[in-house]
Structure 1
Amino acid sequence: MSVFSTYPDNLSQDMNTDRDGSDASTRPAEDCGCGPTYPDNANNNSKPTANHCSIVMGGVLTNPSLSFNDGVRSVDFVLVWEAGKEQASTREAFEHRRIFERNLEADGLQLEREAPENCHGLNFVKIHAPYAVLRDYSEILKLRMPMKECSKIRKGGRTNAILSAAMYMSKFSALKDAPEKTNSFLDRLDSFWESIMSKLRVDPELFPERKHRLTAIYSKDKEYLFDTSSDCFWTPSIRSRIVQFILDRKKFSETSTDDFAFGVARLIDNNVYSAAYPLHDGDLKTPGSMRHLLYTEWASVSTCLKYQPLDYIKDYFGVKIGLYFAWLGFYTHMLIPASIVGVLCVIYSAATVYSNQPSEDVCNYNSSIKMCPQCDYFCEFWDLRATCLQSRFTYLFDNSTTVFFAVFMSFWGACFLELWKRYSAEMTHRWDLTGFDVYEEHPRPQYLARLAHVKRTQIYQYLAEWLTEKELLRTQTEFDDSLTLKIYLLQFVNYYGSIFYIAFFKGKFVGRPGNYVRFFGTRQEECSPGGCFLELSIQLAIIMVGKQFINTFVEMMLPYLLKWWYIIRTIGRKNTMKSSLQWVKDFKLVDFGHMGLFPEYLEMAAFPLAPLFALINNVLEMRLDATKFLSCYRRPVPQRVNDIGVWYRILDSIGKLSIITNGFIIAFTSEFIPRLVYQYTTGSLDQYVNHTLTDFNITVLDYPGYWNYKDGDDYEHTNWYWHVMGARLAFIVVFE
């Protein structure tokens, strides 16, 4: 059974035109918010603003290289193959291209082939989706499209009664302008606040606010509801999405036994084609395109303190990337209070560092206290007073404010997820995603191909699952979520394995002098003289500052290096390829591919400055990512999702895990609990350091730990040690 004997059944079901077209809402259209605007009041005295439609379609209407040679039909997608590449010049490759392009034309797509002389053997196939194809596949994909104005919607020569009533009631909106008694001080305060916020909001002249319109799932038999005559009814994003849907499912072989001989992705893997991509709507330096507008007014670092034009980002890149930047902006705003609290904790710690009695005891000991060597070889006895600086530095992050900050971050994490759910629901309604159901998403063609093999033979099923995909995931959303989860788990171990080792294992099972715990004959590693908490803080600082800086630098420079290498690999080091044609310029960009979009959630309990560094990083990362997407990568095909996917479940799990780890770090890694027990017992922290040291073998040699010497060189834990252990366990219960 072939994949193409399975898939048409789904298509025929989706092509059924007897669907109910009444699924309308007062939400903006999925990929197009343009069209007629509604007045703000009955008298229509509102100030006219720039047309959203002209911004979305500006580059397409003004750039000749975005059209076929006739200057009328738009270029919705481009296929590229290289005549100089051996695998692309074989007879089999020519045959695959011929069959594939013939099937595209049979499905209604229009092709135009060009091979510019100065492009070193590059052949371009421009694709245009005509009106009939757009109508058919808008219905198949169940796209929500903008409807006509209320006054234009008629059925059987009569105006819809409900819409007429709504228009009549809108006349009373002027009642909102009735004067109210207000407080002059509050008015001045509100005016002052509004003047500040106006500098942070996007310029409404450059990015006019989208007007809400009625939308409905497109249906050809109810086309009278939709404003199909509008220039931006089918935007470039919708067109590229429809063409990509077709490219992913067309066969390139007439052999009936090869169920996997379909899709442009496999042709690219086999080097039959070199690239397949939609076009940017213009050059970065040429005004008039949405790409130029976003590059100058959004991607610039000079605008890093301003809000993002999320509606226009979504219109250009699609919902998935739009939600990423919405999440990143929300996360950045939420880091502001966490950063303020963290900085205040560090300021308090720095102001009281010289009043910390344990640190002063270490720094001002009258006698020299010798400590045991920390390793078997090359380690000498060391003086306790030598750890004065480490002791004071440890206090900056290991004091009473540490517990307060950990509790605050636990509440912050819970509030962050709840507030994000609220904000996400607002964006879902605003972008018309509430009716999107993952079960209505079309199956991946790879899923259908494997499904055909499952029905044919069980043996090949197991072999195909092992060699290709471990899971039989039906939709692209499920596939992306599963892949994201696996990548995150691998990166989590890679990034935070050292933190868990320092926090919970290092220095915890070393034994004592004369009876050290050894694994494979090797003595276990001890913490540095400053303690494990100091090492943990340093490690977090390295991750939050060092790794963030390195990763940001690599993420910014890598696309430029890939772009340079891609051009050299294609045309050679000594050749150049200059062209004013947009489809040639975009070929020199880097393929967007399967990129991870959402940043990782980092543990912040033991390092109060982490939110501040994350805030600074996010402010810059938003603009650097925007620059990278606009200048280095080809325009991605928009993908519709209804939320951030598996990332919410990851953040929710990490938030719950962080509460547990915070409690254990404070209880077992920090000195907070031992100091608290000692202070409760004695009333002060005087001689606390001396209390934690134990004489070894009745000499001047001291060993850090809670051991009691007995006759016969025998050691055991003191009662005070068990009191501290009980307090630690009690703290974990209370903290959780």
Structure 2
Amino acid sequence: MNLNSGSYNTVAPASDEIIPARPPPIGFEALQGDEILPPLPRAEESEAYNLDQEANAPLYRKSQYFDDGIRKIDYVLAYEDGKETSHEEQKKQQRRKRFEESLRNQDLQLEYSKKDVSFDRKTNFIKIHAPWPVLCQYAEILKMKMPLAENDMEEFDSCWSKCPNPFELDSDVVKPDPNYFTAPFNRERMEQFHIKNRDTFFTDAQRSRIVYEILSRAEFEDFGTERKKFGIKRLQGNAYIAAFPLHEGPYQSDHSIYASGPINDRHLLYEMWARPKMWYKYQPLDIIRKYFGEKIGIYFSWLAFYTNMLIPAAIVGLAAFLYGIFTMMTDVPTTEICEPNKAGDLIMCPLCDEFCDYWQLKSSCNYSRASYLFDNAATVFFAGFMSLWSVFFIEFWKRRQKEIEYDWDVSNFEDEEETIRPEFEATVTRKRINPINKTEEPYVPFWSKLIRYSTAAVVILFMLCLVIGAVIGVIVYRIVIIAVFAKQKVISQRAPLLTTATASLLNLIAILILNWIYKKLACALTNLEQHRTQTEWEDGFTLKMFLFQFVNYYSSIFYIAFLKGRLSGSPNDYKYLNNERLEECHPSGCLIELCIQLGVVMVGKQAFNNFVELLLPKILNWFQSRTIRDAQKHDHNRVPKQWESDYVMTELQPLGLFYEYLEMVLQFGFVTIFVAAFPLAPLFALINNIIEIRLDAYKFVTQLRRPLAARAQDIGVWYGILKSICIIAVISNAFIIAVTSDFIPKLVYKLEKSPRHDLTGYVNFSLSVFDIKDFPNRSRPLIHENITECRYRDYRYPPTSPYKYQYTIMFWHILTARMAFVIVFENCIVLLAWFIAYLIPDIPHGVKIQILRENYLVKEALFRAEATKRAKAKAEETKQD
């Protein structure tokens, strides 16, 4: 067969024997006088793209292969030439030369696309192809699980599966993949694997992963020192400016996908996953996993599961909020505050020292009604419901995760398949014999780990103190600014609301700034700890970042929920910080302020993240693709090659998926930990997540370079974090209901003080009396007119009592009731959680059966291989005799 540019003859192998293959001299290699290389073998059944057979094929298909049209591009490197006389450029050239020689020594095949033919006339591209023997060798090293036999287990369809489902994807477009039992790949038993076609046996994602493993270990030398280093990570941003696998082609087509079918998996994902009109459809998770790898696939599986679980939570939360709306006008305490002839005429003590005036309780009517929306009987039920919901969430996700581990062949990845990080091998010099496989490997001794982890812990503790300092700064701002607002006649009545809103915005800005600083610090500390595998590194980094983010985002909310108004003292003895009086809660409680803080931080954070995730890549891509647009203006017929189109796209950051998880887990914290104060949080989270799934899909498919198809067994340390959040949520909701809301005081009043066991007179009961003559000089208002006494929120004896301004017996009754509620609430939820965990098995029965069936088939394959080996040995002995 005669091919054009870069052509050579190919000969099909006579048997299944693996024949090493190397490319002909290409580009710069052809000028070096290398020996003539043997022809590349090609399987007879190959379906690889061929220029002779398909001369008019679309350009995107040609862009997936070398110039010969046979060898598929598995990875691309890009670099720019500097001044050849520059010492720095000489170092880069030598590193590239040695690195590429190392790749060829590993039997990878390279093809060069020089800058003269690129759009910007300055970027050189190196296309990399892994031949069949290399793929087989590294598939065995990496213990890739490959198809062994078709799954012959019977699937029983439920009655529900036969009903029309509007959420299902069109099965004519998204065809289900064949289901196979799998086993770790072994070249000696290759005939037992389900190999129909060598060109399609390994998916594009698997091929790129294999090439990346070689790239991450390929050697190069430092210019002048001749010191060997290795890994593409060390060269990126230096000798090379980019390294990436290719997308499978364009994501759009002139023809309808329903009429002509998808032109590639990227097109299929765009049409059936990334488009906004598909917002109500299930995600094609198997296609996502096939295209982007298991790690990204598991993230979207978890996000889909979480979003589905939010539906009942959102419905119940909305019902609780509607209950507040419908009963708001009939609430007795709120009505008493709003009516002048009742508690509305009560004179309240000033909100700040000297310049603040007395005020009537009826002026806070609207504030009180708004507080009731989030502090009513339905709130207690909803908090209990969400505590149980979090338990169900963890248990059901555990089952779903086991299904994913089996279906995607990652159940033993971390224990059996994961390899040592190249950075660990490069930095750790001590060696020891692995007690399991008896091979020498680098290790970090216990004393070194202790020093490194202790250093990291001290730095983390310092940063957490810095965050708490920032929160205290916001608290001081609140204390100062509420006095400033209260002095202004126009806005004095809205001083608490304005203070909360502006302090929340200030807190959000501090959060974003500290996040940027801590990200770099956490990465450096995790590198200091020298983790052995990539999973261990990511888990260490995740734990540090989440601990910081937890304190960063939630500390101000915890302050409002549990501390504000409880440290301020009484009018005769106010407490001060930095010579400023500590702020008090409104007579209607602090719950509405907690709700505002939650809303500002939650919505502000998600709005900022959506900008960073979608708009920023779009803007960057528009700027980076200007050279392509300018070139097309001069030559309208010129179409960019696939590697050129992908090169100008934004690269997914190495920790890009971490921030996706972090955003959702922080949202999970808002939804569970403080849901008693904000029953609409699950509804807002549900709406956000529906949008988030499609925005993330659009970003991954259209705006980002194709990321490396990394493998993962589960969501990693995030599962432990979610369980911890669920425990904190039970405790937090119990204390919010008992301490922050007025549920317990109202309940005690009904049972002990109300003759009719209702809330008539509750407002007067919850306010204590203060004689203005007892004000300290620094707290005494300058203007007091004819007022002799004022009210404040507390349970203290009046000035006429012998126990003047001391806590009443009712205060201790209410405190006891609060603590009793916390204990009962927590123990009930814990007992129910244990019972639910006992009832729901961790592994579904069907998955257990399939695992046993697969293990049986693997054993049978081993027995057959041994029997075949013995038969061949006997035949050889007989032949020799």
The answer, yes or no, to whether TM exceeds 0.5 is yes
For residue 708 of structure 1, the aligned residue among 784, 797, 822 is 797
Q: Tell me the equivalent position of 1:329.
A: 304
Q: Tell me the equivalent position of 1:203.
A: 170
Q: Tell me the equivalent position of 1:5.
A: none
Q: Tell me the equivalent position of 2:535.
A: 477
Moved more, 680-689 or 538-547: 538-547
Instruction: Give the secondary structure class of the aligned counterpart of 1:147.
Output: strand
Trace 1:158-169 onto structure 2 (pairs within 5 A): none
Q: Tell me the equivalent position of 1:684.
A: 758
Does structure 1 residue 266 correspond to structure 2 residue 234? yes
Task: Report the Cα distance in structure 1 between the residues aligned to 2:133 and 2:541, rounded to whole angstroms.
Answer: 36
Does structure 1 residue 650 correspond to structure 2 residue 708? no
Pair 1:550–1:194, CA change in 2 (3 A) = farther
Q: Tell me the equivalent position of 1:549.
A: 607
Query: CA-to-partner distance for each residue in 1:396-440, whole Å, 9 max, x for gaps?
Result: 110111110000000000001101111111111111222323354
Q: Tell me the equivalent position of 1:605.
A: 676
Q: Which runs of 5+ in 1 are unaligned?
A: 1-52, 151-165, 178-186
For residue 732 of structure 1, the aligned residue among 796, 816, 822 is 822
Q: Tell me the equivalent position of 1:37.
A: none
Q: Tell me the equivalent position of 2:396.
A: 419
Query: CA-to-partner distance for each residue in 1:15-42, whole Å, 9 max, x for gaps?
Result: xxxxxxxxxxxxxxxxxxxxxxxxxxxx
Cα deviation, residue 353, structure 1: 1.1
Supply the AA of the counterpart residue of 1:98.
K
Pair 1:713–1:392, CA change in 2 (3 A) = same
Query: CA-to-partner distance for each residue in 1:74-99, whole Å, 9 max, x for gaps?
Result: 11000000125898961111000000
Please say if residues 424 and 643 of structure 1, whose CA atoms lie closer than 8 Å, have aligned partners that are also in contact.
yes
Please say if residues 628 and 640 of structure 2, whose CA atoms lie closer than 8 Å, have aligned partners that are also in contact.
no
Please say if residues 528 and 535 of structure 1, whose CA atoms lie closer than 8 Å, have aligned partners that are also in contact.
no
Q: Indicate the structure whose relative CO is greater, using CA pairs within 8 Å and at least 6 residues apart.
A: 1
Please say if residues 744 and 818 of structure 2, whose CA atoms lie closer than 8 Å, have aligned partners that are also in contact.
yes
Instruction: Give the secondary structure class of the aligned counterpart of 1:723.
Output: helix
Trace 1:147-186 onto structure 2 (pairs within 5 A): 147=148
Instruction: Give the secondary structure class of the aligned counterpart of 2:640.
Output: coil
Please say if residues 81 and 89 of structure 2, whose CA atoms lie closer than 8 Å, have aligned partners that are also in contact.
no
Please say if residues 108 and 131 of structure 2, whose CA atoms lie closer than 8 Å, have aligned partners that are also in contact.
yes
Pair 1:702–1:456, CA change in 2 (3 A) = closer
Pair 1:576–1:372, CA change in 2 (3 A) = farther
Instruction: Give the secondary structure class of the aligned counterpart of 1:410.
Output: helix
Q: Tell me the equivalent position of 1:311.
A: 286
Please say if residues 453 and 460 of structure 1, whose CA atoms lie closer than 8 Å, have aligned partners that are also in contact.
no
Task: Report the Cα distance in structure 1 between the residues aligned to 2:228 and 2:679, rounded to whole angstroms.
Answer: 53
Query: CA-to-partner distance for each residue in 1:240-287, whole Å, 9 max, x for gaps?
Result: 000101111111117898877211111114x21000000000012245
Supply the AA of the counterpart residue of 2:315.
I
Please say if residues 146 and 182 of structure 2, whose CA atoms lie closer than 8 Å, have aligned partners that are also in contact.
yes
Cα deviation, residue 528, structure 1: 4.0
Please say if residues 708 and 717 of structure 1, whose CA atoms lie closer than 8 Å, have aligned partners that are also in contact.
yes
Q: Tell me the equivalent position of 2:867.
A: none
Does structure 1 residue 432 correspond to structure 2 residue 409? yes
Does structure 1 residue 380 correspond to structure 2 residue 360? no
Please say if residues 76 and 236 of structure 1, whose CA atoms lie closer than 8 Å, have aligned partners that are also in contact.
yes
Task: Report the Cα distance in structure 1 between the residues aligned to 2:719 and 2:148, rounded to whole angstroms.
Answer: 33
For residue 200 of structure 2, the aligned residue among 207, 232, 241 is 232
Instruction: Give the secondary structure class of the aligned counterpart of 1:66.
Output: coil
Does structure 1 residue 661 correspond to structure 2 residue 732? yes
Pair 1:194–1:608, CA change in 2 (3 A) = farther
Cα deviation, residue 380, structure 1: 2.2
Task: Report the Cα distance in structure 2 between the residues aligned to 1:444 and 1:282, rounded to whole angstroms.
Answer: 31
Task: Report the Cα distance in structure 1 between the residues aligned to 2:340 and 2:811, rounded to whole angstroms.
Answer: 24
Does structure 1 residue 69 correspond to structure 2 residue 67? yes
Please say if residues 320 and 679 of structure 2, whose CA atoms lie closer than 8 Å, have aligned partners that are also in contact.
yes
Task: Report the Cα distance in structure 2 between the residues aligned to 1:83 and 1:523, rounded to whole angstroms.
Answer: 65
Moved more, 291-300 or 365-374: 365-374
Pair 1:521–1:254, CA change in 2 (3 A) = closer
Q: Tell me the equivalent position of 1:18.
A: none
Please say if residues 135 and 210 of structure 2, whose CA atoms lie closer than 8 Å, have aligned partners that are also in contact.
yes
Instruction: Give the secondary structure class of the aligned counterpart of 1:298.
Output: helix
Cα deviation, residue 549, structure 1: 3.4
Does structure 1 residue 222 correspond to structure 2 residue 221? no
Cα deviation, residue 387, structure 1: 0.9
Instruction: Give the secondary structure class of the aligned counterpart of 2:183.
Output: strand
For residue 355 of structure 1, the aligned residue among 330, 335, 347 is 330
Query: CA-to-partner distance for each residue in 1:535-581, whole Å, 9 max, x for gaps?
Result: 1122223344443334323322121123345557xx69988897420
Moved more, 558-567 or 117-126: 558-567
Cα deviation, residue 357, structure 1: 0.8
Q: Tell me the equivalent position of 1:391.
A: 368
Cα deviation, residue 194, structure 1: 4.5
For residue 418 of structure 2, the aligned residue among 438, 441, 458 is 441
Query: CA-to-partner distance for each residue in 1:505-528, whole Å, 9 max, x for gaps?
Result: 111100111311112322112234
Please say if residues 82 and 88 of structure 1, whose CA atoms lie closer than 8 Å, have aligned partners that are also in contact.
no
Q: Tell me the equivalent position of 2:564.
A: 506
Task: Report the Cα distance in structure 1 between the residues aligned to 2:538 and 2:169, rounded to whole angstroms.
Answer: 32
Query: CA-to-partner distance for each residue in 1:211-262, whole Å, 9 max, x for gaps?
Result: 2213111111111112345132111111100010111111111789887721
Pair 1:118–1:685, CA change in 2 (3 A) = closer
Supply the AA of the counterpart residue of 1:202.
L
Q: Tell me the equivalent position of 1:539.
A: 597
Please say if residues 83 and 89 of structure 1, whose CA atoms lie closer than 8 Å, have aligned partners that are also in contact.
no
For residue 265 of structure 2, the aligned residue among 290, 300, 308 is 290
Supply the AA of the counterpart residue of 1:536.
L
Please say if residues 60 and 74 of structure 1, whose CA atoms lie closer than 8 Å, have aligned partners that are also in contact.
no
Instruction: Give the secondary structure class of the aligned counterpart of 2:351.
Output: coil
Q: What fraction of aligned residue pairs are identical, expressed as a percent? A: 43
Q: Tell me the equivalent position of 1:14.
A: none
For residue 402 of structure 1, the aligned residue among 379, 383, 404 is 379
Cα deviation, residue 446, structure 1: 0.8
Instruction: Calculate the aligned-residue CA RMSD, in Å.
Output: 3.2
Supply the AA of the counterpart residue of 2:144.
L
Task: Report the Cα distance in structure 1 between the residues aligned to 2:382 and 2:118, rounded to whole angstroms.
Answer: 65
Instruction: Give the secondary structure class of the aligned counterpart of 1:261.
Output: strand
For residue 646 of structure 2, the aligned residue among 574, 586, 597 is 586
Q: Tell me the equivalent position of 1:50.
A: none
Task: Report the Cα distance in structure 1 between the residues aligned to 2:264 and 2:369, rounded to whole angstroms.
Answer: 57
Please say if residues 369 and 700 of structure 1, whose CA atoms lie closer than 8 Å, have aligned partners that are also in contact.
no
Task: Report the Cα distance in structure 2 between the residues aligned to 1:544 and 1:98, rounded to whole angstroms.
Answer: 50
Instruction: Give the secondary structure class of the aligned counterpart of 1:551.
Output: helix
Moved more, 587-596 or 722-731: 587-596
Please say if residues 88 and 272 of structure 1, whose CA atoms lie closer than 8 Å, have aligned partners that are also in contact.
no
Task: Report the Cα distance in structure 1 between the residues aligned to 2:743 and 2:565, rounded to whole angstroms.
Answer: 17
Matched residues, number: 644
Q: Tell me the equivalent position of 1:23.
A: none
Q: Tell me the equivalent position of 1:42.
A: none
Task: Report the Cα distance in structure 1 between the residues aligned to 2:289 and 2:595, rounded to whole angstroms.
Answer: 39
Please say if residues 147 and 213 of structure 1, whose CA atoms lie closer than 8 Å, have aligned partners that are also in contact.
yes
Q: Which runs of 5+ in 2 are unaligned?
A: 1-47, 254-261, 432-441, 457-523, 773-787, 827-881
For residue 708 of structure 2, the aligned residue among 616, 627, 637 is 637
Pair 1:285–1:397, CA change in 2 (3 A) = same
